[in-house]
């Protein structure tokens, strides 16, 4: 990728009050700055006449208040240059903070990439890229507030023109706040081995990049004109498309709870500086204005008389909301008092009262709604706060109307006031309530549903959770395809509070908030019941294939293991990632069954497992069933299929009191090679060659299963990378119990603790051959304890039994 062809300068100044690049105690060796050519004030050079610069001078001290200098700069005002932009190196290529050690990116396709330039002694210069690495790049990205991850790039000097090189090598640890804090070598001898300059690409994947934002011109800290910080300057936002959904995001980003309302037409006074944003169109679900659809920076058709503002009214006594309607514009009226929401009785309620309420909520007018839509089961369970309310219609707040004392009434919840409010125009977007997100799915369209309430992300209990609830969640997140509910912590257990239980959507609501029928935080659940969804769910199955030759050609293919995965640090597999994984289940007279062993699909009708799986319950085929395509043991999957057992063949040399010859074959019920239906989630593994040694041919090995996770058996299919060990390791540990028909594998270091307990008895040890076909080299057999130091797992060596397998299965 050529970064030098297209010049875009990202320039970040120093935020007032923020820690600046100059806030460092240790100085650099002093050096005289080069003298400028004639016609340019001291300290500055035209871009085409930049000299090769020596090391940086000592860092300037900060002001007494500890703040960076305030004020706008059209470009770098150099010492003695009196702010004349023509003498600022790189003038016209963006705006930058011009303190010693400021950095900027030049020549990238966007603000997240480019050649690194550093500001020293009044001059912008580069860094030799010979030893430039990701740690150095990460420090630059952090200094520019472009995220917590940087990737080192290198750009030929030949494309950069005449520009100084300051440092021949930078050695950052990666945790520094400023590149001046890194160790470095001054560029002296004029050589840079590869003749490449340091460049970076910044990624915000590890930490969201939030544009700094503030409120100005309001009468208190909860309201004001919205101002954002970009390119070293504070500027305003135009009110085109500005509404309460945008206000909700601004209030959330500022950490201000309560009721958010948008204001236009410079309600809080006209700002100064540039208009930085226009056409902001948040859904109300974002965490920062940066995440909302909007114009490009500085692209607008506005004047300051259209500056946007917000008010973030705190939840104080008298705050109002409408609940249990089809949106936040209608429903049961609730009022906030003493830390709790309660209802209002309809005794003496008039349309004048309704107008006051709707106006207080930011709507133009409204009307009372009947009670026929609400059944007693949907009514509020909270207090009835107000009764006998009487307004003149001129009040700005419901509490200004005459009423009884708080909590004094003679009503029940069948008499709760219900309203419908109407906005100024049809294009007004209604607030969608608390934001929601999907976590730990395999892509952004699925995951555990989490909701942001009271400043904290929390989960939803799956009691009553259905596809109708999933449809509302997916629609709120902007997905239009079919939605499917997932229960039983299908996407893993969340952390933090369980905010919501017994969600009841009809499927037509605009937001999940409209489906919440009971008080926040009230539930009888654990995180093992966290609800999830799959949005834009595709329902496609590959038909069964009876052609034996074509089946043999697809063995060992993992079609779904490269999808995006957001699970961090977990050992969960991807759905369909191990398509030959089989669950051998014990049938029960109650019909519930339970997982007995893992196994490996080697053809449509044959499964490979361990002989010891049948030691306890015998080889009566009616005791067992085989489940293919399974992922979560308690949630039925689309590709999942449970098939009866027709035949069990244990190796004739296996003895229950021994671990040798621990291998068995299971024939599934069904016509020849038409037992299990193949799909992306159900495919056979390849068999090894006779006497093939995977240590030499296939080093990338995994065990899979629903085995021990360290706390309990997992509900979702687990995977763990596992190293194959020399046989002498197991021979020394297990003596004569370990034979030549066994494989030795596992981590012998105590802190790693990966062995057969992470898989299941009888389950596969798979290794990848070069060329991406996966081979079942081992069957999980035995070991001493779980993850015990110096006690690796032992696996039946499948390559020793290939002739036997082929003679039984006729494959």
**Better-predicted residue by pLDDT, 654 or 452:** 654
* pLDDT tens per residue across span 703-714: 888 875 445 667
Q: Are residues 460 and 403 in the same domain?
A: no
**Degrees to nearest 5, angle at CA 221 with 217 and 224:** 35
pLDDT over 50 (residue 77): no
pLDDT: which is higher, 295 or 552: 295
In a domain, 73, yes or no: no
Domain that residue 329 falls in: 319-370+382-422
**474 assigned to some structural domain:** yes
User: Domain containing 616 — which CATH number?
Assistant: 2.40.10.10
Is pLDDT at 649 greater than 90 in this prediction? yes
On the question of pLDDT at 788 being above 80, the answer is no
User: Residue 303 burial (CB < 10 Å; 0-12/13-18/19+)?
Assistant: exposed
Q: Is residue 50, in this structure, part of any structural domain at all? A: no
Q: Are residues 594 and 640 in the same domain?
A: yes
CA distances from 586 to 615, 616, 623, 662, 712 (A): 13, 11, 6, 19, 19
For residue 64, tell me if it sits in a domain. Answer: no
Q: Which of 12-21, 415-424, 661-670 has the lowest mean pLDDT?
A: 12-21
Active site residue 761: yes
Judged by average pLDDT, the poorest of 176-185, 356-365, 780-789 is 780-789
Q: How many domains does the chain have?
A: 6
Question: Do residue 261 and residue 332 come from a single domain?
Answer: no
Per DSSP, helices labelled H in 434-591 are 467-476, 548-553
pLDDT of residue 777: 93
Greater confidence (438 vs 783) lies with: 438
**Residue 739 CB contacts under 8 Å (≥ 6 apart), including other chains:** 660
According to the model, what pLDDT value does residue 41 have? 31
Of 136, 141, 133, give the one whose Cα is nearest residue 104. 141
Alpha-carbon distance 512 to 196, whole Å? Answer: 53
Q: Same domain for 663 and 752? A: no
All residues at 6 or more sequence positions from 62 whose CB lies less than 8 Å from its CB, including other chains: 20, 22, 23, 68
Which whole number is the average pLDDT over 102-111? Answer: 87
346 among known catalytic residues: no
CB 271 within 8 A of CB 235: yes
84-103: average pLDDT:
49
Identify whether residues 240 and 196 lie together within a single domain. Answer: no
Structural contact between residues 105 and 114, judged by C-beta atoms closer than 8 angstroms: yes
Residue 65 lies in a domain: no
Q: Are residues 203 and 112 in contact, defined by beta-carbon separation less than 8 angstroms? A: yes
pLDDT at 512 over 80: yes
Q: What proportion of the chain, given as a percentage, has pLDDT over 70? A: 76
- CATH assignment of the domain containing 296: 3.10.250.10
Closest Cα partner for 795 from 714, 717, 694?
Answer: 694
Residues 410 and 459 in one domain: no
pLDDT exceeds 70 at position 24: no
d(CA 61, CA 402) in angstroms, rounded, equals 62
Condensed to tens digits (0 to 9), the pLDDT of residues 582-635 reads: 999 988 765 557 888 999 999 999 999 999 999 888 989 999 999 999 888 888
Please say whether the beta carbons of 106 and 117 come within 8 A: yes
Among 300-304, 319-323, 334-338, 684-688, the range of highest mean pLDDT:
684-688
Give burial (CB, 10 Å; 0-12/13-18/19+) of 670. middle
pLDDT over threshold 60, residue 750: no
Whether the pLDDT of residue 31 is over 60: the answer is no
Say whether both 183 and 111 belong to one domain: yes
pLDDT in tens, 278-296: 889 888 888 888 888 888 8
Q: 437 has which bridge partners?
A: 450
Mean pLDDT of 349-369: 80
Is pLDDT larger for residue 736 or for residue 99? 736
Mean pLDDT rounded to a whole number for the chain: 76
**Do 392 and 443 sit in the same domain of this protein?**
no
- What residues have CB less than 8 Å from 422, skipping those under 6 apart? 329, 358, 363, 364, 365, 366
In a domain, 790, yes or no: yes
Between the two ends of the chain, the Cα-to-Cα distance in Å is 50
pTM confidence score: 0.46
pLDDT attached to residue 74? 28
Tell me, yes or no, whether 111 and 175 share the same domain.
yes
Q: How far apart are CA 105 and CA 38, in angstroms?
A: 29
| pLDDT exceeds 50 at position 316 | yes
Catalytic hit among 168, 203, 761, 799: 761
Share of the chain above pLDDT 90, in %: 27
**Is the CB of residue 10 less than 8 Å from the CB of residue 111?**
yes
Question: pLDDT at residue 494 above 80?
Answer: yes
Give the model's confidence band at 445: pLDDT under 50 very low, under 70 low, under 90 confident, else very high.
confident
pLDDT, position 605: 94
Last residue of some domain: 203, 221, 236? 203
* Residue 542 pLDDT: 41
Q: Are both 176 and 236 inside the same structural domain?
A: no
Tokens of 301: 């058709």
- DSSP letters, 676-739, are SPPBTTB-PPBPPPTT--HHHH--EEEEEES-B-SSSB-SB-EEEE--B--HHHHHHHHGGGS-
Based on the fold, state whether residues 323 and 418 are members of the same structural domain: yes
Band (321; pLDDT cuts 50, 70, 90): confident
Whether residues 414 and 451 share a domain: the answer is no
What pLDDT was estimated at residue 786?
61
* Domain-terminating residue out of 534, 563, 590: 534
Burial class (CB in 10 A: 0-12, 13-18, 19+), 210: middle
Is 611 a member of any domain? yes
149 in any annotated domain: yes
Question: For this structure, is 612 an active site residue?
Answer: yes
In this predicted model, which residue has the larger pLDDT, 315 or 432? 315
Write down which residue in 279, 294, 313 finishes a domain.
313
Pick the catalytic residue from 329, 337, 612, 632.
612
- Measured between alpha carbons, how far is 710 from 304 in angstroms, rounded to an integer? 61
Catalytic residue among 630, 662, 708, 755: 662
pLDDT at 163: 83
Enumerate helices (H) and strands (E) in the chain, giving the number of each: 8, 38
């Amino acid at each position: 990728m050529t970064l030098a062809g297209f010049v875009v300068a990202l320039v970040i100044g120093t935020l007032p009050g923020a820690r600046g690049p100059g806030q460092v105690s240790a100085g650099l060796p002093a050096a005289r700055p080069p003298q400028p050519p004639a016609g340019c004030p001291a300290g500055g050079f035209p871009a085409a006449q930049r000299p090769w610069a020596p090391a940086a001078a000592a860092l300037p001290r900060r002001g007494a208040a500890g703040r960076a200098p305030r004020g706008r700069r059209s470009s770098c005002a150099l010492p003695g240059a009196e702010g004349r932009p023509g003498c600022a190196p790189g003038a016209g290529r963006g705006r930058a903070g011009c303190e010693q050690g400021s950095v900027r990116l030049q020549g990238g396709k966007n603000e997240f990439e480019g050649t690194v330039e550093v500001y020293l002694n009044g001059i912008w210069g580069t860094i030799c890229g010979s030893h430039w690495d990701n740690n150095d790049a990460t420090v630059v990205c952090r200094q520019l507030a472009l995220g917590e991850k940087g990737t080192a790039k290198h750009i030929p000097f030949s494309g950069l023109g005449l520009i100084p090189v300051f440092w021949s090598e930078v050695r950052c640890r990666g945790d520094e706040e400023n590149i001046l804090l890194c160790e470095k070598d001054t560029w002296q001898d004029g050589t840079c081995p590869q003749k490449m300059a340091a460049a970076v690409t910044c990624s915000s994947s590890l930490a969201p990049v939030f544009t700094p934002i503030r409120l100005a011109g309001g009468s208190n800290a909860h309201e004001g004109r919205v101002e954002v910080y970009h390119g070293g300057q504070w500027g305003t936002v135009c009110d085109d498309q500005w509404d309460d959904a945008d206000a909700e995001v601004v209030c959330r980003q500022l950490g201000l709870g309560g009721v958010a309302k948008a204001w236009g037409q410079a309600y809080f006074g006209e700002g100064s500086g540039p208009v930085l944003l226009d056409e902001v169109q948040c859904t109300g679900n974002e965490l920062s204005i940066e995440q909302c659809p909007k114009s490009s920076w500085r692209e607008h058709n506005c004047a300051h008389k259209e500056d946007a503002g917000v008010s973030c009214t705190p939840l104080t006594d008298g705050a109002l909301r409408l609940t249990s309607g089809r949106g936040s514009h209608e429903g049961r009226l609730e009022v906030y008092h003493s830390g709790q929401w309660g209802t209002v009785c309809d005794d003496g309620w008039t349309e004048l009262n309704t107008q006051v309420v709707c106006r207080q909520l930011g709507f133009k007018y409204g009307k009372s709604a009947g009670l026929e839509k609400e059944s007693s089961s949907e009514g509020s369970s909270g207090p009835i706060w107000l009764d006998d309310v009487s307004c003149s219609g001129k009040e700005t707040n419901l509490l200004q109307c005459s009423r009884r004392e708080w909590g004094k009434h003679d009503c029940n919840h069948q008499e709760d006031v219900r309203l419908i409010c109407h906005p100024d125009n049809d294009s007004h977007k209604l607030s969608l309530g608390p934001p929601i997100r999907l976590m730990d799915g395999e892509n952004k369209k699925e995951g555990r549903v989490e909701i942001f309430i009271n400043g904290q992300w929390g989960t939803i209990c799956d009691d009553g959770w259905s596809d109708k609830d999933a449809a509302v969640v997916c629609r709120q997140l902007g997905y239009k395809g079919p939605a499917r509910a997932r229960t039983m912590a299908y996407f893993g257990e969340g952390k933090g509070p369980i905010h919501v239980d017994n969600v009841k959507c009809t499927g037509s609501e605009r937001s999940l908030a409209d489906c919440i029928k009971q008080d926040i935080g009230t539930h009888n659940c654990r995180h093992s019941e966290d609800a999830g969804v799959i949005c834009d769910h595709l329902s496609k199955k590959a038909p069964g294939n009876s052609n034996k030759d074509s089946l043999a050609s697809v063995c060992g293919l993992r079609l779904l293991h490269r999808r995006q995965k957001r699970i961090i640090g977990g050992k969960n597999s991807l759905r369909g990632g191990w398509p030959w994984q089989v669950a051998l289940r014990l049938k029960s007279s109650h019909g519930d069954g339970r997982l007995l062993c893992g196994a490996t699909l080697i053809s449509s009708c044959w499964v490979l497992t361990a002989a010891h799986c049948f030691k306890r319950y015998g080889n009566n085929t009616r005791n067992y069933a085989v489940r293919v395509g399974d992922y979560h043991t308690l949630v039925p999957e689309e590709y999942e299929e449970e098939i009866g057992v027709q035949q069990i063949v244990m190796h004739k040399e296996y003895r229950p009191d021994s671990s040798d010859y621990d291998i068995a074959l299971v024939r599934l019920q069904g016509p020849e090679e038409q037992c299990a239906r193949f799909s992306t989630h159900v495919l056979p593994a390849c068999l090894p060659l006779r006497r093939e040694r995977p240590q030499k041919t296939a080093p990338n090995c995994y065990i899979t299963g629903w085995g021990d996770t360290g706390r309990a058996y997992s509900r979702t299919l687990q995977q763990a990378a596992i190293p194959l060990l020399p046989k002498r390791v197991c021979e020394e540990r297990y003596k004569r119990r370990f034979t030549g028909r066994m494989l030795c594998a596992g981590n012998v270091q105590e802190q790693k603790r990966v062995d057969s307990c992470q898989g299941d008895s009888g389950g596969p040890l798979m290794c990848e051959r070069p060329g991406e076909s996966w081979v079942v080299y081992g069957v999980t057999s035995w070991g001493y304890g779980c993850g015990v130091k110096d006690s690796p797992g032992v696996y039946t060596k499948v390559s020793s039994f290939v002739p036997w397998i082929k003679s039984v299965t006729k494959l």
